[in-house]
Amino acid sequence: MKNAEIQFNADDLLSAVEDICDHVTGKRKVTMRSTEVKLPAATSQMSPKEIVAARESLNVSQPVFARLLNVPTVTAVSWEKGRRKPSGAALKLLQIARKHPEVIFD
């Protein structure tokens, strides 16, 4: 087994001590991992016509479409008629269905 020389870096030590101090005093949460992730832009709303087009591109009925999206049939119908607007995960899934319809069947 090789012996590696350990490099001492005072700046890293001070930074670690400051992190622990901030954590103990409740100023900041210390985690084992720090990662920077570029988040996608917020998902834009889909019009009822776009939702119908997404369903028709799959060539399925409203009940089957609702089942594929794991939502009640009345919800999918309400989206298509414009009575309700999809939000959150449902909106993201609808956009995936529109852009990549083959994924919905996987």
pLDDT in tens, 55-77: 998 999 999 999 999 999 999 99
In the predicted model, what is the mean pLDDT of residues 31-51? 80
Collapsed DSSP state (helix, strand, coil) of residue 28: coil
Residue 60 lies in a domain: yes
pLDDT of residue 32: 62
In the predicted model, what is the mean pLDDT of residues 78-94? 93
pTM over 0.85: no
Tell me which of 33 and 45 has the higher pLDDT. 45
Structural domain that includes position 68: 48-104
Instruction: Give the pair of three-digit tokens for residue 91.
Output: 């909106």
Residue 76 lies in a domain: yes
Report the candidate in 40, 48, 49, 51 with the shortest Cα–Cα distance to residue 98. Answer: 51
Residue 24 lies in a domain: no
Number of domains in the chain: 1
